[in-house]
Structure 1
């Protein structure tokens, strides 16, 4: 299982490294995409026709914001 401290400092992450069960954010794929659409989660970047990634810095900021709101 990947935890926040296991994330690299910079770079990109694929969706399976971000959401449950392997990632630090405990949401389903459909919840994640709904959150991207309405702005709760960061927008992805396309590296190719079938390659979608998110910046590690954006994911770390999302986790930090969630931890600070509790």
Structure 2
């Protein structure tokens, strides 16, 4: 339940977040309405931007990169 609340909060704040902010994979899955495996397939095909490695065990996506990808899908 806590993870779902975190995802919901991240989605609610996505529009107001600065382009330099980061979101984790569960948020990307919801934004692009796909599974974890599909996120990685779409990264490989170039439909979703690649994540940024924040540390050895932490990967996230820049909000600005995701906004650009979502905008290109709606055109």
The TM-score with structure 2 as length reference comes to 0.73
Other-structure match for 1:12: 22
CA RMSD of aligned residues (A): 1.4
Structure with greater helix percent: 2
Alignment coverage as a number of residue pairs: 63
Structure 2: which 5+ residue stretches go unaligned?
A: 1-7
Task: Give SS of 1:18's match.
Answer: helix
In the alignment, structure 1 segments of 5+ residues that lack a partner are none
TM-score (norm 1): 0.77
